[in-house]
Chains A and B, each alone.
Chain A
Amino acid sequence: GNSVTQMEGPVTLSEEAFLTINCTYTATGYPSLFWYVQYPGEGLQLLLKATKADDKGSNKGFEATYRKETTSFHLEKGSVQVSDSAVYFCAPGGSGGSNYKLTFGKGTLLTVNP
């Protein structure tokens, strides 16, 4: 089955700093790759996705590129805001015999200070 390793948090940044959250995965076949975000007290929301190699997903200033050669999908944002404080989850899935299944990382807590 799939597995995912994402950068352990917590990550604390000042407003307008550059953000990288690393994510690497192992998977059967060629999975799609997703980043989800969870704001305090809420469920997970889809942040961005990429469905094939070299695709770049983007949303709300966040970006991640599907790197098949390094099996990575690192999340980046050039200038974070206080409102970006949340937990971020990397999730490969939708491939191989379990094409319904996403495998979630343990999550990375991001805190952005003003």
Chain B
Amino acid sequence: DVKVTQSSRYLVKRTGEKVFLECVQDMDHENMFWYRQDPGLGLRLIYFSYDVKMKEKGDIPEGYSVSREKKERFSLILESASTNQTSMYLCASSLPQTRSYGYTFGSGTRLTVV
């Protein structure tokens, strides 16, 4: 069964910590995405990557960075965590032919910053 795996389901971090959220896919997908999901706001795109070492900003990149050193792995980095980054983080991947297949999502990481 093909899948996208996020390393943690729940994470609690302190304000100011550097936080790494990891995502791995086993489908050989070119595209990978990081979203955050908040009540009333839906899904908002943070960053995406269309190839190894390539990245582009999404709608809300401030306070985040990403790394894609290998095709199967896409990491989201919170350089200095703040309480307003408490959220559900969703990773997704897709083939270049998004219109035919859509995205495959991971199960999400619920991050709490205290």
Contact = CB atoms under 8 A, between A and B. Distances in A.
Contacts of A106: 40-42
B98 A102 contact: yes
Interface string B73-114: 000000000000000001010101111101111111000000
Contacts of A49: 102
A105 B41 CA distance: 9
B64 interface: no
B102 A42 contact: no
A100 B102 contact: no
Interface residues of A, number: 25
Most buried by A among B42, B97, B100: B42
Interface in A2-50: 31-32, 34, 36, 41-46, 49
B65 to A, nearest CB: 20
A51 B50 contact: no
A99 B99 CA distance: 7
A51 B41 CA distance: 26
A102 B102 contact: yes
A99 B98 contact: yes
A100 B102 CA distance: 9
B42 A100 contact: no
A100 B33 CA distance: 10
Most buried by B among A44, A94, A105: A44
A45 B102 contact: no
B31 interface: yes
A49 B97 CA distance: 14
Interface string B14-54: 00000000000000000100000000111101001010000
A44 B105 contact: yes
B50 A46 contact: no
Contacts of B43: 44, 89, 104, 107
18 contacts: A31-B99, A36-B102, A43-B4, A43-B6, A44-B43, A44-B92, A46-B102, A51-B99, A93-B98, A93-B102, A95-B99, A99-B98, A100-B48, A100-B96, A102-B98, A104-B42, A104-B43, A107-B42
